[in-house]
C-alpha cells in the first residue's frame, strides 16, 4: 500500500470510528480545521522508528499549533507485533523526556492488535485503540489541557467508550468498515 492510501485509510478510521463513534470528543475540531499532520514512515525497525519519532517531536514542538496541532506517525512496517510495539512505548516515552518535551508533548498509542492491560485480546473495548496501522499519536499538552477543560466529563471518556463499543459489539464494529456502495 502506498503512503497516500495509508493516509486515506487512516483518515477514514478517524472519521468513522474515532469521530463517528465519538471515541475522542477532541478529535473532530482538529480534523475539521485540518490541523492533523499525517506522517507515514518507511521505518522497518524500532531504531528507525525512534529516529522518525524524534524528528516528528521536534517538528511538532516548533510548529504553530494553528497549522499543526497534532501528529499521527504511522509506521506500517515497524512494530507490527503488538507485544514489541508495547515494549517500544517505553523507549518512545524516554525519547520524549530526553528531548525535553515532557510537559510539552505526549504520546498516545494505537495498533491494529491493541489490547488493554486489563482486557482479553477478544474484548471489543480494545477497538477504541485499534487502528488500521500501528501509529504513535503526538499531542500537545496545552491542547489536551484546553480540550479537557472544555469537556466537563473528560475522566469518563474511557468508561463511555467501553459502553459504546459493548453496545456496538464485534459485528457492529465490523459493519463500520463495510463498503456502503455494496
Band of pLDDT at residue 180, cut at 50, 70 and 90: low
Which range among 34-48, 98-112, 136-150 shows the weakest confidence by mean pLDDT?
Answer: 136-150
177 part of a folded domain: no
For 135, list phi and psi in degrees, rounded to 5: -155, 155
136 part of a folded domain: yes
Q: What's the DSSP call for residue 101? A: -
Radius of gyration from C-alpha coordinates of the chain? 16
Chain centroid, CA 80 distance in Å: 15
Cα–Cα distance for residue pair 35/39, rounded to 1 Å: 13
Cα–Cα distance for residue pair 139/36, rounded to 1 Å: 10
**Cell triple for residue 104?**
510539552
Q: DSSP labels for 51-62?
A: HHHHHHHHHHHH
pTM here is: 0.93
Domain residue limits at 136: 3-170
Mean pLDDT of the chain: 93
**173 near 165, Cβ under 8 Å?**
yes
Which range among 2-6, 53-57, 105-109, 173-177 shows the weakest confidence by mean pLDDT?
Answer: 173-177
- Report whether pLDDT(69) > 90: yes
Number of domains in the chain: 1
**52 near 73, Cβ under 8 Å?**
yes
180 part of a folded domain: no
**108 near 117, Cβ under 8 Å?**
no
51 part of a folded domain: yes
31 part of a folded domain: yes
Band of pLDDT at residue 158, cut at 50, 70 and 90: confident
Chain centroid, CA 73 distance in Å: 8
Which range among 2-6, 43-47, 151-155, 161-165 shows the weakest confidence by mean pLDDT?
Answer: 151-155
176 part of a folded domain: no
- Report whether pLDDT(182) > 60: no
Length of the chain: 182
28 part of a folded domain: yes
143 part of a folded domain: yes
Amino acid at each position: 500500500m502506498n503512503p497516500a492510501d495509508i493516509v486515506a485509510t487512516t483518515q477514514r478510521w478517524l472519521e468513522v470510528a474515532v469521530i463517528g463513534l465519538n471515541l475522542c470528543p477532541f478529535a473532530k475540531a482538529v480534523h475539521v480545521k485540518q490541523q492533523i499532520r499525517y506522517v507515514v514512515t518507511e521505518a522497518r525497525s524500532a531504531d528507525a522508528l525512534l529516529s522518525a519519532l524524534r524528528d516528528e517531536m521536534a517538528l511538532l514542538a516548533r510548529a504553530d499549533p494553528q497549522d499543526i496541532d497534532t501528529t499521527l506517525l504511522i509506521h506500517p512496517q515497524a512494530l507490527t507485533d503488538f507485544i514489541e510495539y508495547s515494549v517500544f512505548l517505553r523507549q518512545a516515552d524516554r525519547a520524549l523526556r530526553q528531548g525535553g518535551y515532557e510537559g510539552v508533548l505526549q504520546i498516545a498509542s494505537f495498533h491494529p492488535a491493541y489490547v488493554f492491560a486489563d482486557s482479553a485480546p477478544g474484548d471489543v473495548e480494545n477497538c477504541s485503540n485499534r487502528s488500521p496501522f500501528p501509529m504513535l499519536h503526538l499531542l500537545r499538552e496545552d491542547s489536551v489541557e484546553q480540550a479537557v477543560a472544555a469537556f466537563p466529563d473528560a475522566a469518563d471518556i474511557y468508561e463511555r467508550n467501553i459502553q459504546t463499543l459493548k453496545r456496538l459489539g464485534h459485528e457492529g464494529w465490523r459493519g463500520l468498515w463495510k463498503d456502503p456502495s455494496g
